[in-house]
Structure 1
């Protein structure tokens, strides 16, 4: 059972890398890129629709929404582009540096969003009578 889970996890990682390569291809439509970005942002985000500390439901949204977003992204990408991206993902190793880079980018985006919301909140607080 554990070997099967490892195999599925590796396949999912390869699909995510293939989606990355497909997103960089100019033949990929903009709406497919938007779905990919939203899926990746949700998967990497520390903020969930349903918090993880809620039993069962907390992880259920991750188990349903992320794979559904990946499946939708794959369907929106043209078949030729996805085939080439899968070939490239299977032959190109992903470095740990790339993982840290993506994690750092997500962290910076969240910090910018929090700073923007804080600024809006401060402006609202100052404008009160």
Structure 2
């Protein structure tokens, strides 16, 4: 059973890398790029929609929502583009993950803005 889970997780990681390269491909329509980029950003983000400390529900996004989003994003992209991205993803998995500090900074800034906005809404006397 552990081998099946490990294989499933590796395949999920490969699909995220495929979407990563699809976001950069000029043949992918803009709406598919936006959706795929959102999925990739969410997958790499340390912040979950449903926090992991919540029993059972905490892992719902990793087990159901993320794979569902990946599946939908992959369906929006043409097969020939996916094949090209698949080759790049396989090469990437052999050589190691990319380090995109600009993307990480953007994600962190978005979460900071959302957090500050939420705090200002909850505690209006701070603003």
Would you say same fold, with TM above 0.5? yes
Deviation per residue, 1:22-41 (Å, 9 max, x gap): 11001101111121122233
CA RMSD, 1 decimal? 3.0
- Compute the TM-score of the two structures, normalised by the length of structure 2: 0.75
Distance apart, 1:46 and its partner CA: 1.4
Q: Which runs of 5+ in 1 are unaligned?
A: none
**In 2, Cα distance between equivalents of 1:10 and 1:88:** 16
Structure 1 residue 12 displacement after superposition: 1.6
Q: Secondary structure at the match of 1:46?
A: coil
Q: For 1:81-126, what per-residue CA distance to the aligned partner results, in whole angstroms no more than 9, with x for missing partners?
A: 11100011112345456177654542233124334x16965xx648
**Structure 2: how far apart are the matches of 1:71 and 1:7?**
17
Structure 2: gaps (5+ residues): none
Partner deviation per Cα, 1:61-95 (whole Å, 9 max, x = no partner): 33111000000010001111111000111123454
User: Is the contact made by 2:14 and 2:89 (CA closer than 8 Å) also made in structure 1?
Assistant: yes
Task: Answer yes or no: is the 8 Å Cα contact 1:45–1:106 preserved in 2.
Answer: no
Taking the aligned partners of 1:112 and 1:126, their CA distance within structure 2 comes to 15
Q: Distance in 2 between matches of 1:76 and 1:95?
A: 27
Output the CA distance in 1 between the equivalents of 2:102 and 2:12. Answer: 20
- Please name the residue that 1:113 is paired with: 114
Give the Cα separation in 2 of the matches to 1:118 and 1:54: 21
Count matched residues: 124
Greater shift after overlay, 68-77 or 2-11? 2-11
Choose between structure 1 and 2 for higher RCO, CA contacts under 8 A separated by at least 6 residues. Answer: 1
